[in-house]
Amino acid sequence: MQHKTLDPGPQQVATPTAFVLFGATGDLARRMVLPAFYDLFCRGLTPKEWVLIGNGRGDVAHEDFRDHVHKSLVEFGPGEDKIDQGQWAEFSKRLRFAGGGFDEDDPGSLLDVINEAAGGLGEERQFVHYLAIPPSAFGSIASGLAAHDLLQGSKVVFEKPYGESLESFGELDQLVHSLMDEDQVFRIDHFLGKEATQNLHMLRFGNAMINNNWSADAVAQVQIDAPETLDVAQRAAFYDATGAFKDMIVTHLFQVAAEVAMEPPASMAAEDLQTARESVLGQFRPLDSSEVVLGQFDGYTEIDKIADDSTTDTLAAVRLWVDTDRWRGVPFLLRSGKRMAGDHELVSLIMKEPKGPLGDLPDTAARLEISLKGKGGIGVALILKHPGPGLTVSEQRIDLSLADVDPGEGLDPYVALLHDVLIGDRSLFTSSDGLAHAWRVADSLLKNPPRPISYQPGSWGPEEATELTGGLGWVTQRNEQAG
């Protein structure tokens, strides 16, 4: 098999680095960020000299924080049997914790711990501040970093959602830009860090037979579907203040839609990819509430920390229109929800039925599917003759798991994005302008959302969400029924 290298791939950064992880004992850090740091270290992609300082309100000893990190790796990382004791010993000795919180008026113990832990990194050290905290605290921490002289030459990573409305986004964006330059800001979206999302580029631009059909001329509908079987109990307070629409649609799925809909970039360089993705975001039509379905699973308000009268959506489905010559008239269907019947992350390009001698082909839909789940995969559903004496057509599938693609093993999304922060590669991060476009698309809906429709846990959600597909149905459901 022939290979052509377009990019040298992951590389170790020489600059000594002090990572400061705000929200270090929280759920997001435990599930995603801490395992990613460890993976980055095990792959030899951290700088030779580095330290990781966790920050939080509690008074946690360094040794207790190391124990917390180890438990995180056992549960969400490689697992106890696969943690190399030598690597763990080397990794853990670089872990520190600074308690007492942190804000503009009171830095807690962070400055003291930085002086102790990062003092040996030298004058050329850099800081990477990772804000794994609720969005409501972004402004306070950013102001604190400026007040305590921790922003000079630093990179600051913001988790999503970056803002909760067009107005709150604008206020946060103005504050952040008053404190730091745009090239210091990394707004993370782990969907963009997925290997399979990045393969959207290669699949399209590397294969003329696909690229030539990547438009309204051939495509009847685009579906981006991310149902989840998970509950929200572990993060109930955050989720009830956010909901499915803001947690998944405005953030992750709008960005994936832009990856699908963008025009070919001038090159695969970071700035050109970001420009192409965010230019098409500016062409998304503002959502119409008649083309949006919100749902809430039965029993949601019985969860601890959820108000009895909560109207938070646990499912959101939207019909989105992209007003470019390439995609005008093609609906983009986006859906995500909790406590649903399946667990998928699937992009599907459903092809138009060809005109010709076969006539109408009921209950069939030729399509290209890109799974973003796990290592990812590519599927093609084709209309073929069913074996036998008669002329019977049927839908047949061809599937390729990206885990089987030789050579090498891809980086998990958070590992890839952390590495990109270190090397300053912004191609998989959202810019201020791109997020402003996204919040404008959602603005009128957020100001006047439809009331959520109840649905049974373990179902595919309210029938109204399926009706948005115009009779085609959701591909994820179709595949499960066929399988």
- Residue tagged active-site, from 129, 252, 344, 419: 252
Backbone angles phi, psi at 295, to 5 degrees: -135, 160
CA distance 248 to 253: 6
- Distance from CA of residue 439 to its chain's centroid? 16
Cβ-based neighbour number of residue 86 at 10 Å: 7
Verify whether residue 70 is a known catalytic residue. no
CA distance 50 to 384: 57
Say whether 436 counts as a known binding-site residue.
Answer: no
Say whether 406 counts as a known binding-site residue.
Answer: no
Say whether 193 counts as a known binding-site residue.
Answer: no
What secondary structure does DSSP assign to 62-122, as a single string?
A: HHHHHHHHHHHHHHHSS-GGG--HHHHHHHHTTEEEE-S---SS--TTHHHHHHHHTGGG-
293: which strand partners? 317
Q: Would you say 14 and 47 are in contact if contact means Cβ atoms under 8 Å apart?
A: yes
Q: Report the amino acid identity of residue 144.
A: G
CA distance 143 to 119: 23
Residue in the structure block whose two tokens are 């102790």: 116
Structure tokens at 196: 């399979």
Say whether 24 counts as a known binding-site residue.
Answer: yes
Collapsing DSSP states into helix, strand and coil, what is residue 397? strand
Say whether 30 counts as a known binding-site residue.
Answer: yes
Residue in the structure block whose two tokens are 């290592």: 375
Say whether 48 counts as a known binding-site residue.
Answer: no
400: which strand partners? 378
Q: Which of 351, 408, 396 is nearest to 195 (CA)?
A: 408
Say whether 148 counts as a known binding-site residue.
Answer: no
Say whether 3 counts as a known binding-site residue.
Answer: no
Compute and round to an integer the Cα radius of gyration of the chain: 23
Say whether 451 counts as a known binding-site residue.
Answer: no
Collapsing DSSP states into helix, strand and coil, what is residue 97? strand
Say whether 160 counts as a known binding-site residue.
Answer: yes
CA distance 372 to 270: 21
With both helix axes pointing from N to C terminus, report the angle between 413-423 and 34-42 in degrees, rounded to the nearest 10. Answer: 70
Say whether 82 counts as a known binding-site residue.
Answer: no
Say whether 228 counts as a known binding-site residue.
Answer: yes
Say whether 26 counts as a known binding-site residue.
Answer: yes
Say whether 27 counts as a known binding-site residue.
Answer: yes
Say whether 301 counts as a known binding-site residue.
Answer: no
Residues tagged in the binding site annotation? 23-30, 57, 160, 190, 194, 228, 247, 338
Which residues are marked as active site? 252
Binding-site sequence positions for NADP(+): 23-30, 57, 160
Binding site for substrate: what residues are annotated? 190, 194, 228, 247, 338
